[in-house]
Amino acid sequence: MTTRIDLAELRSVGGFFALRQGPAPEGAVAFSQVYAPPAGPDPLSSRVAEVARRLGAPEERVAVSVAHLGLAARVWSVGLGCAALYGAVPDLDPARLRWDARATSPDDLWLGDVRALPVGADPDAAAATVRDAVQRAHLVPLAEALRARYRISAGLLWGNAGSALAGAARELRGWAARERREGVGERALRLAEVLFDHPDLRTTGALDPAAFRRRSCCLYYRCPAGGVCGDCCFERPPTRSSP
């Protein structure tokens, strides 16, 4: 496998896989700043507020969950996509990767330059590299930052992370089938299986080649125009009790 990462091809998998290279737009900040305790304007809280406004979220935790799910999907998609396609992941160090909280996929993630970190052919070693780049570098501090700012359960956030990982693998397999590159889809699924074998993820849901069913709910159904997601633990929106 080559260690060259083709950002145009990666973006063709879907918007969540997009990664911009070059100078970031004004207002974009390094994720290291996003995860730190706020000492001024807080991009993470701004994104949650914007999600709440767009969805008409009736509870703050609904907006927190949906905002978190979107970010988890972005970083998993970039990491897993590059590993499956190129046998490498970009250096996604939070001090290097910048985020524009005002934008959405595909215009929110930026790297000044893409440094490819080879993952190797062994699935366990490759998954360990992806885990370091995504789960440890981003999902752990992101969950900690959100829980420091809001009342949201760790189980719900890790359920989102599991759903986002399964979704990234599913998108890669669909793209690989359309492009007749089945090896990419098989590699993505194998990497996802290894990544799910971690204490924070293995209890979030059941992954198989066709589907994923999570054991928690992202709460999107509580929004006025919301419903249950395709991998939700509920088959239909729960009935809400009257206040």
The pLDDT of residue 240: 58
How far apart, in whole angstroms, are the C-alpha atoms of residue 131 and residue 133?
Answer: 5
- Say what percent of the chain tops pLDDT 70: 95
Contacts of 136 (CB under 8 A, 6+ apart): none
What token pair was written down for 158? 């890790």
Average pLDDT over residues 201-218: 81
The pLDDT of residue 1: 44
Contacts of 23 (CB under 8 A, 6+ apart): 110, 112
The pLDDT of residue 210: 62
The pLDDT of residue 91: 97
How far apart, in whole angstroms, are the C-alpha atoms of residue 190 and residue 196?
Answer: 10
How far apart, in whole angstroms, are the C-alpha atoms of residue 80 and residue 208?
Answer: 17
What three-state secondary structure class fits 135? helix
Confidence of residue 242 (pLDDT cuts 50, 70, 90): very low
Yes or no: say if 109 and 95 are a contact pair by the CB < 8 Å rule: no
If you search the block for the tokens 């970031």, which residue do you land on? 24
Q: How many CB atoms lie within 10 A of CB 31?
A: 25
Q: What is the pLDDT of residues 100-116, one digit of tens each?
A: 999 988 899 999 999 99
Of 180, 158, 169, the C-alpha closest to 210 is 169
Question: Worst-scoring range by mean pLDDT, 186-190, 218-222, 234-238?
Answer: 234-238
The pLDDT of residue 228: 80
Is the pLDDT score of 209 beyond 70? no
Q: What is the pLDDT of residues 128-162, one digit of tens each?
A: 999 999 999 999 999 999 999 999 999 999 999 99
Confidence of residue 223 (pLDDT cuts 50, 70, 90): confident
What three-state secondary structure class fits 237? coil
Is the pLDDT score of 163 beyond 90? yes
Is the pLDDT score of 241 beyond 60? no
Of 18, 84, 16, the C-alpha closest to 8 is 18
How far apart, in whole angstroms, are the C-alpha atoms of residue 64 and residue 83?
Answer: 29
Q: What is the pLDDT of residues 166-206, one digit of tens each?
A: 999 999 999 999 999 999 999 999 999 999 999 999 999 87
Phi/psi for 110 (5° steps) reads -135, 140
What token pair was written down for 108? 């929110």
Yes or no: say if 94 and 30 are a contact pair by the CB < 8 Å rule: yes
Phi/psi for 117 (5° steps) reads -110, 105
The pLDDT of residue 216: 86
In 56-139, where does DSSP find H-type helix?
60-86, 123-130
What mean pLDDT value characterizes the chain? 91
The pLDDT of residue 172: 96
The pLDDT of residue 128: 97
Yes or no: say if 80 and 191 are a contact pair by the CB < 8 Å rule: yes
Burial 173-191 (b: 16+ CB within 10 A, else e): bebbeeeeeeebbebbbbb
What token pair was written down for 236? 């239909």
How far apart, in whole angstroms, are the C-alpha atoms of residue 203 and residue 94?
Answer: 27
Q: What is the pLDDT of residues 16-66, one digit of tens each?
A: 999 999 999 999 999 999 999 998 889 999 999 999 999 999 999 999 999
